[in-house]
Amino acid sequence: MKLSREEVLHIATLARLGLTDAEMEKLQEQLSNILENFEILQQVDTNNVPPTSQSIDLQNILRNDKEAPSYPQQQILANAPRAEDGYFRVNAILE
């Protein structure tokens, strides 16, 4: 499917893209190629293929949570540039 210049301009307007003439021609060619590839894919017989939302089984790759003692507060605050009353002291961001 070959897209016209007006169709590409309409798409660019919807995407809020300001394109030069050279970019417009390049985009027209690229989008036309993409649509041609979809036309080829539509010819594939998928009648015997069940609908799926995921092509492979999902696996949980996260490790189980394990309780562990945390570092002592004084050891953590030793790395802080400024500490006050057992907390990190940071500069105010909002006034």
* pTM for this entry: 0.51
Whole-Å CA distances, 95 to 91, 92: 10, 7
List the chain domain ranges: 5-41
pLDDT in tens, 57-80: 888 888 888 999 999 999 999 989
The per-residue pLDDT for range 6-50, each reduced to its tens digit, is 999 999 999 999 999 999 999 999 999 999 999 999 999 989 988
**How far apart are alpha carbons 31 and 34 in whole angstroms?**
5
In this structure, which CATH number among 1.10.20, 3.30.160, 1.10.3470, 1.25.40 belongs to the domain 5-41? Answer: 1.10.20
